[in-house]
Amino acid sequence: MDWQNLINTGATVVVGVIGWFVKSTKDDLKAQAKELQEFRLDVAKNYVTHTDLADIKQTLFRIETKLDAKQDK
């Protein structure tokens, strides 16, 4: 084997490894983008509305009032 064939083979291996790395990174990014989109949809389905939050605040205020009444006794 002469030097030119050795250099060509080495360059082919290096370019192949770099190509594989870029492809696997690109596939991982696509998978993460898909997971992020699914997460966004899940959050949009299950977020707490302002009405629900107002109900929770009213319940907490009622509990606080009861505790204050018990403390005064």
Q: What residues does each domain of the chain span? A: 3-72
Query: If you write DSSP's letter for every residue of the chain in order, what string do you get?
Result: --HHHHHHHHHHHHHHHHHHHHHHHHHHHHHHHHHHHHHHHHHHHHPPPHHHHHHHHHHHHHHHHHHHHHHH-
Render pLDDT for 7-60 as a digit per residue (tens, 0 to 9): 999 999 999 999 999 999 999 999 999 999 999 988 888 777 777 888 889 999
pTM confidence score: 0.54
Tell me what pLDDT residue 18 has.
97
Q: How many CB atoms lie within 10 A of CB 21?
A: 10
Backbone angles phi, psi at 2, to 5 degrees: -90, 175
Query: What pLDDT was estimated at residue 71?
Result: 73
- How far is 69 from 63, CA to CA, in rounded Å? 10
